Amino acid sequence: MPTAAFTTLGCKVNQYETQKILERFEALGFDIVPFDVPADVYVINTCSVTQSAEAKSRQTVRRAARQNPNAVVVMTGCYAQFTLRRGETLDEAHLVVPNPDKMRTADYLLEHFPHFKAQLAQKRHNTETPIRRRSRAVLKIQDGCNVYCSFCSIPYTRPVMRSTPYTEVLDEARAMVQDGYRELVLTGVLIGDYGPETGSGGPDLAELCALLGEIDGLERIRISSIEPTLVTDRLIDLIATHPKMCPHLHIPLQSGDTGVLQAMNRPYDQAFYLDLIRRLRARIPNCAISTDIMVGFPGEDEAAFQNTCFVVEQVEFCRAHLFRYSPRPDTPAETMRQQVPDPVKAERMQRLQHISKAAAQRYAARMLGTVERVLVETRSKLSGLMTGTSDRYLQVEFAAPNSLVGQIIPVRLVDLTPDGVLGELTTA
């Protein structure tokens, strides 16, 4: 029977969409295999957020073609869309599915490679069989962005603002819980914009979370990434009071310098961001904050960079994704003067990595001695210990049997590890 393998580059929205594309292949009768083994079809959901993401997208396509030279390699996602727009081709990609059509990837494949239809016809496939893949499912509830940050191309590729009707969100969430998922990660391009004006059918984000919280069997709800200006007091209150809401928010900072933020067309300044974190932590003790930070945006001088370092020191993000700025075609920042030289960006990245790692360790150290609910995920090949993610997004390692995979259990945090925390099972 034909086999298909999938991989994703980039954001949680892409992860969710890969999951949906995969489910369609599965329903058609493809056997799903890991990406690092020979498959008949490889689907790569690409990303173009930075030049490095584009390079990784190309490398992944080439790697797939090398793994099985007879395979059909399918490329979709933002980088795929850029190649179509620029009229570029990648020899190893046999099929490029436009980003807006990515949910129809399987149909594109069958149209262009009809021999798969015949192979699938031989296979009697039971689409009812639930397959449990992971313990945490990503649930996309919103699409589109109209913020137009000056470095970002997403508003050009996803300009239509759309909230998934809440009844559909609830149905999908219930189905995911039935499939065995314990945690749902809500995602969207501009998730804080979720609401009736763009099609939710009534609730805003906080109200939707409250409705999701009523689903039996769902144990945790996490919000994947939300813009600072869209974190409402009602959302903060809900996270503070609802036992299923993770005390964790991913709030992109991008820069800690007010001038750079203005040049980025980000609608807040350093003081606003720090005040938001202060309000969050006043209401939600030890609320975990993760973030994205862009280093080397045009005009970022040493003083501006120091302002970013200052915010990182102050906030003590539990995790910070650091990106080196690279010009995206057709964005305002592409033609800005005062581009930062690559060696300067590289040196600042290194410094910020050290600072953010130390700050994350200080945050984790403050949590030692407490008990966190940990979703048990997999066994570490390196340490042999079980690993999982805590409510506060800490990566925890602890001794536990395989039978606990997929469960959410209390773990006492006892020590720091290079990348997270060591814990021990407890009944508390």
Indicate which single residue of 17, 54, 227, 300 sits in contact with ligand SF4 (rule: CB under 6 A). 227
Between 96 and 333, whose beta carbon lies closer to ligand SF4?
333
Which of 32, 84, 147, 414 is in the footprint of ligand SF4 by CB under 6 A? 147
Q: Residue 323 CB, nearest distance to ligand SF4 (Å)?
A: 11
Backbone phi, then psi, for 102, in 5-degree steps?
-60, -30
Which amino acid appears at position 239 of this protein? I
Query: Could you write out the DSSP letters of every residue in 155-185?
Result: HHHS---EEPPHHHHHHHHHHHHHTT--EEE
30 vs 323, beta carbon nearer ligand SF4: 323
What CA–CA distances, in Å, run from 45 to 80, 102, 264, 417? Answer: 8, 9, 27, 32
Tell whether residue 406 is a contact of ligand SF4 (CB under 6 A).
no
149 binds ligand SF4 (CB under 6 A): yes
Out of 21, 97, 154, 318, the only residue in the binding site for ligand SF4 (CB under 6 A) is: 154
What's at 268, amino acid-wise?
Answer: Y
Whole-angstrom distance, CA of residue 10 vs CA of residue 13? 8
Q: How far apart are CA 390 and CA 406, in angstroms?
A: 13
* 145 makes contact with ligand SF4 (CB under 6 A): yes
10 Å Cβ neighbour count for 316?
22
Q: Which stretch binds ligand SF4 (CB under 6 A): 127-135, 151-159, 203-211, 377-385?
A: 151-159
**Per CB under 6 A, 409 contacts ligand SF4:** no
Q: Is 240 helix (H, G, I), strand (E, B) or coil?
A: helix
Kindly identify the residues of this chain, within the stretch 300-339, that bind ligand SF4 according to CB under 6 A: none
Q: Does 280 bind ligand SF4 (CB under 6 A)?
A: no
Which listed residue (152, 226, 280, 375) binds ligand SF4 by CB under 6 A? 152
Which range of residues in 117-125, 143-151, 316-324, 396-404 is near ligand SF4 by CB under 6 A? 143-151
CB of 74 to ligand SF4, least distance (A): 25
Q: Count of residues binding ligand SF4 (CB under 6 A)?
A: 10
* 410 half-sphere exposure, CB direction, 13 A CA radius: 7
Taking the least distance from each CB to ligand SF4, the nearer of 84 and 147 is 147
CB of 254 to ligand SF4, least distance (A): 7
Residue 223 binds to ligand SF4 (criterion: CB under 6 A): no
Q: Restricting to residues 167-196, which ones interact with ligand SF4 according to CB under 6 A?
A: 189-190
- Residue 52 phi, psi dihedral angles, 5° rounding: -65, -40
Instruction: Using CB atoms within 10 Å of the CB of residue 147, give its burial: 0 to 12 exposed, 13 to 18 middle, 19+ buried.
Output: middle
Does position 148 interact with ligand SF4 (CB under 6 A)? The reply is yes
Nearer to ligand SF4, 143 or 372 (CB): 143
**Residue 248 burial (10 A CB sphere; 0-12, 13-18, 19+):** buried
Question: Which run of H or E residues covers position 139?
Answer: strand 136-143
Minimum CB distance to ligand SF4, residue 152 (Å)? 3
Inter-residue contact 205 to 158 (CB < 8 Å): no
Identity of the residue numbered 334: E
3-class SS of residue 254: strand
Considering only residues 41 to 80 of the shown chain, the ones binding ligand SF4 according to CB under 6 A are none
* Binding region for ligand SF4 (CB under 6 A): 145, 147-149, 152, 154-155, 189-190, 227
